[in-house]
A and B are shown apart, each in its own frame.
Chain A
């Protein structure tokens, strides 16, 4: 099937993202990329757990004293919800409802921005307390792990925004459908990583 074919809701395939060779390749490739990202984050998690609460003699900061569960919980809810809204967006994409997809992706973006704002606030708060990046091995590991995730969120936001702007005028076709699908996959992945951060860093930090 050609990229430039115009579709109607009736001719639109059930899985538009996989209707072309390029689309299929892109999705297989992206899953493999995510597998590689899993290892990347696993290395960061392992390092964080090894260096948790480690610092120079007499260090005042520990996970227990530092982390604020309600804030982390709010961030978790924002990101989890954004994952759900991106599912809606892909649902509308498959039903050839371009407006619906755009709307839900926009909501996803807003939730993602909210998450990022809270994270920036959190970091600023810690720095204010004196828990700076070079304060201890624990601090370095914490900011690197959570910061790498935050960097992924920002990339995701830029990515989805670019997609929305670029395709604002031209509607869905078999060329951009896989692009939206893959961006949504990425967004889910970011969400899953955050669930692990929430558990391993915040929950186990405060309770464990």
Chain B
């Protein structure tokens, strides 16, 4: 029996996951970690909605409410939506472009562990003296004023997990540029791969300003720096600029892959190629580009002057054009197709009107003078939840149903899936639709309570009911996922309507993905093969040796070192904790030591020979293989 196919004990399996560099296993880890943080942040949201259910409520205290709202926003964006999308990118991009792994498998693992340990570090703040409480934007004057270590947790945790995100983004770009199978030209790439490419490029240019912003905050809070201290010549508006130069593209980093996911689901269940593929690609790039030109629309009320406000207002409106192109292209993909309303398709159908509603309120806010009223009111809360829940979360749920067989070779339950959709979708609109009006009726965002007699009571009550429904929806979704463990193997292309390469691979997917590198003959290669009556992809090579990377524990050790060092840095400002400096040094020594080990130890990977491959395939698919 080959060593590749042996059953492993529990300890060995854990070790395997800690050291793995396989993009599919990392995808599963991203999925689990992202779901964990999604659940935590969702729970925080529920606590906040319960507090706001009635006026003058005392369910949670004012200080704790601020911690909740900060951690909800930070966690949802950095530690839930990002890793969940990374799960799909990691799983799908190599499969969609016909690659055996990503360009830098080692970095892929490093990216995951940095993200995960950074996220754990940030969450430990709840048990170690209080979480950050200055909002996910953490505006400089308030975050410098904030007592305790909450903001330090925010700064250090995001610095570590941000580095992980950056590394993963870099990895995806190189993978897509250099690892495509023969015939997979750029204009034949599935749209999800395209959006991953553009989103990764955005990560690359958006995260460094955040890194610098966090560095400056760290220096100010821990080493007596003066970047944001106006009495020493500093300027807090610099933080606002740096944060939003990062923060606005961040929205597109999340929503573009969501667009990509829907651009896979909609053609599959319409049995029709994506309408206007090239204009979809163009729109993606244009949105990515414009995404960097509009950050100051978050600062219309900061006082940048009318010229800056006018320019950024018009630039922001311009984004509506490529986004509109996308929406119409999706609709025209459905038009003339053969629509099958499966659960993923249901999410896609629900997404289109919800996202359009979120988009048009965005244009309203882009109108600077109108935004003077809307800014920092509940209207904004409604708007970005329409975009994020209506756009990104529906994409994640829909794709979870769609790609579950690729991840786990199991299908999710369709009936339960549709029920989940309706509960979640109605709850979502109930929660956020009324918040538009709360904002217009004068309710500022980020308030822990409100007095009676301001006309807000009823809508807040409705909103809380909606939030509870969304909570039920998420629980149903998790139940569905857990139930699938007992399900039957799904097999290759279980939906029957798969169009891209990932559906051409027999299930379960072997760790080297493709026994032979596929030959791509057009857009939607698997659809082309199926139309020609082929049962398998066309290959570009005979069966031969496959070169694969070695597993490694070093990424975990590097991340662990930084995780330890972060505690040292955090407590370094406390006079009563002299040991902290040693913790810092030990942590950094572990990290740099591991990096040096990595660079002096040769790692050539290993070769998988033809006989091994045939043996593995026999184990997976039975005698004679699954030809």
The reply to whether A and B meet directly (CB within 8 Å) is yes
Q: Which residue of B lies closest to A4 (CB)?
A: B604
A166 interface residue per 8 A CB criterion: yes
Q: Is the interface of A mostly helix, strand, loop or mixed?
A: helix
A28 interface residue per 8 A CB criterion: yes
> What 0/1 readout, one digit per residue, does chain B (323-358) give for beta carbons within 8 Å of chain A?
000000000000000000000000000000000000
Name 7 interchain pairs, CB-CB below 8 A, sorted by A.
Answer: A29-B170, A29-B174, A32-B170, A39-B209, A47-B242, A51-B238, A59-B233
A139 interface residue per 8 A CB criterion: yes
Given the known interface contacts A137-B226, A140-B227, the answer about A43 and B103 at a Cβ–Cβ threshold of 8 Å is: no
Given the known interface contacts A24-B178, A162-B596, the answer about A37 and B208 at a Cβ–Cβ threshold of 8 Å is: yes
> What 0/1 readout, one digit per residue, does chain B (542-585) give for beta carbons within 8 Å of chain A?
00000000000000000000000000000000000000000000
Asked if A47 and B208 make an inter-chain contact with CB atoms under 8 angstroms apart, the answer reads no
Of B211, B223, B235, B600, which contacts A137 at CB under 8 A? B235
Cβ of B21: which chain A residues have Cβ within 8 Å of it?
A: none
Asked if B602 and A175 make an inter-chain contact with CB atoms under 8 angstroms apart, the answer reads yes
Of A33, A50, A134, A141, which contacts B170 at CB under 8 A? A33
Given the known interface contacts A51-B233, A134-B226, the answer about A32 and B174 at a Cβ–Cβ threshold of 8 Å is: yes
> What 0/1 readout, one digit per residue, does chain B (233-257) give for beta carbons within 8 Å of chain A?
1110010011001000000000000
Cβ of B173: which chain A residues have Cβ within 8 Å of it?
A: 29, 32
Q: Which residue of A lies closest to B596 (CB)?
A: A162
- List the one stretch of B27-35, B212-220, B493-501, B615-623 in contact with chain A: B212-220
> What 0/1 readout, one digit per residue, does chain A (186-197) give for beta carbons within 8 Å of chain B?
000000000000
Bound together, the chains give a CA A49 to CA B171 distance in angstroms of 33
A144 interface residue per 8 A CB criterion: yes
Asked if B233 and A40 make an inter-chain contact with CB atoms under 8 angstroms apart, the answer reads no
Write the nearest CB–CB distance from A18 to chain B, whole angstroms.
11
Asked if A140 and B225 make an inter-chain contact with CB atoms under 8 angstroms apart, the answer reads yes
Bound together, the chains give a CA A139 to CA B104 distance in angstroms of 39
> What 0/1 readout, one digit per residue, does chain A (21-54) give for beta carbons within 8 Å of chain B?
1001100110011011101101110110011001
> What 0/1 readout, one digit per residue, does chain A (119-159) give for beta carbons within 8 Å of chain B?
00000000000000110111111001000000000000000
Asked if A137 and B234 make an inter-chain contact with CB atoms under 8 angstroms apart, the answer reads yes
Q: Which residue of B lies closest to A31 (CB)?
A: B174
Given the known interface contacts A28-B174, A29-B174, A36-B204, the answer about A43 and B209 at a Cβ–Cβ threshold of 8 Å is: yes
Cβ of A35: which chain B residues have Cβ within 8 Å of it?
A: 204-205
Given the known interface contacts A47-B238, A137-B234, the answer about A39 and B208 at a Cβ–Cβ threshold of 8 Å is: yes
Cβ of B234: which chain A residues have Cβ within 8 Å of it?
A: 51, 54, 137, 140
Cβ of B232: which chain A residues have Cβ within 8 Å of it?
A: 55-56, 134, 136-137
B3 interface residue per 8 A CB criterion: no
Bound together, the chains give a CA A144 to CA B207 distance in angstroms of 18
Write the nearest CB–CB distance from B609 to chain A, whole angstroms.
15
Asked if B204 and A56 make an inter-chain contact with CB atoms under 8 angstroms apart, the answer reads no
Bound together, the chains give a CA A36 to CA B246 distance in angstroms of 13
Q: Which residue of A lies closest to B205 (CB)?
A: A39
Write the nearest CB–CB distance from A67 to chain B, whole angstroms.
18
Per CB-CB distance, the 10 closest pairs between chain A and chain B, nearest first, are A54-B233, A137-B233, A134-B224, A40-B208, A43-B212, A137-B234, A39-B208, A55-B233, A140-B225, A137-B226
Bound together, the chains give a CA A171 to CA B208 distance in angstroms of 37
Cβ of A137: which chain B residues have Cβ within 8 Å of it?
A: 226-227, 229, 232-235
Of B104, B166, B207, B227, which contacts A141 at CB under 8 A? B227
